[in-house]
Chains A and B, each alone.
Chain A
Amino acid sequence: MNKKIIFTLITLVIVGAAAFLVFALSQNKESTEPQQSPDTEVNVESDQERDKDTNEPLDKRYVDFLENMDGSREYNTRTFGIIELSTILGSKINEVAAVGEYRSALILDISTALAIYGDVELEKEYETLTVIPDSIAVEGNSKITANVRLGQSDKIVPLSVQILTTPFKSFIPGQTVRHGYVTINQGESAFRYLGGLEPSVFNSYSTTQTNFSQPTVMIRSDKREDALKYLKDIGYKIPDLTISFGNYRSLFE
């Protein structure tokens, strides 16, 4: 009789343990189901249109424009791949809605950014910086990404351009306002070039970028609110920038 009770108890324990094990395993299975990972896929588009385009002669206007680019002439570093970039944007002009008539100005911003990056940030370590044509991609309709080769080395850094569009074009009648906010490299090594600042000298205030590791702007004028409005109108969100004012000290400091 005692043996039967012991046998029953042992059986109960085993059945209970088995039940628990099965249940625990089913719970565990639920919790280890793959979680939905954040969408980190980069939307690199194929450049079939570009292949067609590169067989055609380049628009002479762009060749003239690039040859007469003031920005790149001032720097020892030369930038290549810009013509391809311009061609690709040309072929995608409808897709990249934010480019529109400002393509030339945008290309100038990118070229200038690369030239300054090579000269100032990399201290002329490389004579040339090349935008790799096959890496050029458009994200959404207001961002361009590409890779840039440093000199003849294997070193490649990412470049991204946020296209900023102003609804207000009356600052310089007859001229286009520039809209490229260029970032080269990333993280702490990121270099940032704020496009669109130069035209403001015509409006009795000047805005210049003073630091390329952060988006910093110096405003020199008594018309501080007007200058802020200008920055806002060309597409910058003011709090994203670190702004200082020349010849000014706040009474609140």
Chain B
Amino acid sequence: MKKRTIFIVAIITIGLITWGVLAHILSQKDIAFTLQPGEYTLHIRQKSGREVAKIDSTQTLTLKTGDYYYNISGEGYDGKSIPFTVDTDTEITIQPRYLESFVSTLEEREKPAIVSLLSQTYPSVGIIVVDSFTIDKTATWGSGKLHLGNNTNDIYRYILKRKDGAWEVLIRPTIAISKLEAKDVPEEILYSLY
């Protein structure tokens, strides 16, 4: 009788342990963090605020199911916390955003290079006067208006994209850019030009 009781208790204990191990294994999910280029660090925190990981390149982390936050740190970056929930294997793409004040500094710093880029790309149009140059918060898109010489009658809109750290002309200076010819450009950038 005693042996039988011990046997039953042992079986229940082992069953519970098995359950616990399986529950632990199945509650782990793979979260693939894809980090867009930039000099920043990604911090991942539990809802309680405890930091569970810190990465500075694309990688996959195994996290327990639950609610988390992430934020980035680095010079000029917006460190706002973004919530996310782990309940299944998933991918999260991190697109860092700069602070407005930092973007303004970037615009001022890079405007001469933009004028030079446009003049070199279109040498036969005459004197290009860049009226405005704006960089979006991801520092991926540059856009603005320009005119030629003294002719302020026609205003041209242009869109640049940063690739491998350098600006490229994506949409050549055009009076009216349509969505059809700028399919990859975020709409808010297009609308801001009018």
Residues of A within 8 A of B (CB): 8, 11-12, 15-16, 18-20, 23-24, 27, 31, 214, 222-225, 228, 232, 237-243, 245, 250-253
Contacts and interface: CB of A to CB of B under 8 A. Distances in A.
B11 to A, nearest CB: 6
A239 B11 contact: no
A121 B156 CA distance: 34
Interface stretch (B36-44, B92-100, B102-110, B168-176): B168-176
A228 B178 contact: no
Contacts of B193: 239
A73 B125 CA distance: 48
A33 to B, nearest CB: 11
B76 to A, nearest CB: 29
B15 A19 contact: yes
Interface in B144-194: 148, 153-156, 172-180, 182, 187, 190-191, 193-194
Contact of A19 (B19, B124, B126): B19
Contacts, number: 84
A31 B88 contact: yes
A239 B157 CA distance: 11
B175 A16 contact: no
B26 interface: yes
A15 B180 CA distance: 62
| Count class of interface residues, chain B | 35 or more
A12 B11 contact: yes
A101 to B, nearest CB: 27
Contact of A245 (B14, B153, B175, B182): B175
Given A15-B11, A240-B179, 13 more contacts: A8-B7, A15-B18, A16-B18, A18-B15, A20-B18, A20-B19, A23-B19, A225-B153, A238-B194, A240-B178, A251-B126, A252-B122, A252-B173
A253 B15 CA distance: 75
B86 to A, nearest CB: 13
A238 B125 CA distance: 25
Interface in B31-66: none
Which 8 pairs of residues, A with B, have the shortest CB-CB distance?
Answer: A243-B176, A239-B190, A15-B15, A16-B18, A19-B19, A251-B125, A238-B194, A242-B178
Residue of B173, B176, B187, B194 most packed against chain A (CB within 10 A):
B176
A228 B154 CA distance: 11
A11 B7 CA distance: 10
B82 interface: no
Contacts of A239: 177-179, 182, 187, 190-191, 193-194
Interface string B1-36: 000000100010011101100110010000000000
A240 to B, nearest CB: 6
A250 B178 contact: no
Contacts of B182: 239
B22 A242 contact: no
B16 to A, nearest CB: 8
